[in-house]
Amino acid sequence: MTHDERVTAAAVAEAAPARPRARLIDVAIAAGVSPKTVSRVINDEAGVLPVTRDKVLQTVRDLGFVPDRSARELKRRAADTIGILIDAISDPFFAAFVSVVEELAIAEGLSVIFASTGYDAARETAQLDRLTGHRLAGLVVAPVSVPAAVLAGLRNRCPVVTVDRVRSGIDAVVIDDFGAAAEATAALLAHGHRRIAFMGEDVPYPTVSDRLAGYRSALEAAGVAFDPSLVITHERFREGEAAEASPLLERADAPTALLCATSLAAIATVRAIRARGLRMPALISFGDFTLAEVLEPGITYVDHDPRLLGAAAFHRLRHLALYPDDAPSRTVVRTRLVPRGSGEIAPALPLDPIGATR
């Protein structure tokens, strides 16, 4: 090769296009794994089999892949927030739930943002869009009408856990609504009550309907006929709707006991009893509420501790952050019946062995 040929060859070599920089997706394709798996390997995270980790690392070397450290650090700094979507912060249950999630998040250097649906499907969609506009480290949802497919799509971006209600294919933290309501109803029956009313709410999810089913099941097991006139449902128990219990309790055949399916229903019912000067029937609230223990008598309640549900939801989120490919699970938090006096009130009149008043 002449001097001129050598110079020309060198110029051509220098002018040849540089090899494109390998991307994370290139490593994933070459190694036959998901991009998430590659990300976990290069970030030295747990949850990857040793043989898979070795294969990915070898592919990284073969392709000369260099992680974008600045992008990784930016992502880590940004994804430090837990999003929570609940019914209403005025609900004592959800107020306590948010509080415990926030405590646990702060302990891990995370922040919390929350939004409420107001039990409205359109508002739920808007609030989900607002929350997921942030780079979230996890999302907790008390779903109203959002379908499982939407939550599954969000699950591809960050861990998602539903609370109080379930969606197919999504991790959930719940209680046994049916069993807890059956237990509470059975306790009232054991104290001699045969006319037990159910105060519920007409909500677009099965929580209350499951409790109604548990109530009916306990009546049937005790041989007590179900009386639909003793079931009061309302779109929403609020301060101005406390009178729902009054017509029921002023009937000649008034029930001697009440099972309130939510703490809001219990608050409204107790308010109606006090406002009308009615005799206090036996009463069990599904969930505790502020000052319930200082009333006379104190309000017996089904303890579905929001602190336990909040802790379970948070810990599941953090687990999914490490193991995003885990199969969805359902965590059932135990409940207990806490006697305070109201649930132990005996019927006004004694009952004979078959349940008829003397």
Range of the domain at 15: 3-64
72, part of any domain: no
Domain for residue 69, yes or no?
no
pLDDT of res. 244: 62
The number of distinct structural domains making up the chain is 3
Q: Are residues 166 and 195 in the same domain?
A: no
Do 187 and 297 belong together in one domain? yes
| 74 falls within a domain | no
Q: Domain for residue 225, yes or no?
A: yes
Same domain, 52 and 9: yes
CATH of the domain at 126: 3.40.50.2300
Residue owning tokens 């009550």: 193
Residue 84 sits in the same domain as residue 170: yes
Residues 188 and 292 in one domain: yes
Task: Give dist(CA 161, CA 109) in Å, integer.
Answer: 20
Specify whether 20 is located in the same domain as 58: yes
pLDDT tens per residue across span 56-102: 888 988 887 877 655 555 455 557 899 999 999 888 889 999 999 99
Per residue in 226-250, pLDDT (tens digit) is 999 999 876 555 544 445 677 888 8
Cα-Cα-Cα-Cα torsion 344, 347, 351, 353, nearest 10 degrees, comes to -30
134 lies in the same domain as 194:
no
Tens of each residue's pLDDT in the chain, 358 residues: 554 544 444 444 444 445 577 888 888 899 999 888 888 888 777 678 888 888 988 898 888 787 765 555 545 555 789 999 999 988 888 999 999 999 999 999 999 999 999 889 999 999 999 998 888 999 999 999 999 999 999 998 899 999 999 999 999 999 999 999 999 999 999 999 999 999 987 776 788 899 999 999 999 999 999 999 999 876 555 544 445 677 888 888 999 999 999 888 898 889 888 888 888 999 999 999 989 999 999 999 999 999 999 999 999 999 999 999 899 999 999 999 999 999 999 997 554 444 444 4
What CATH number has the domain bearing residue 24? 1.10.260.40
- Whether residue 154 is contained in a domain is answered as yes
Are 143 and 112 members of one domain?
Answer: yes
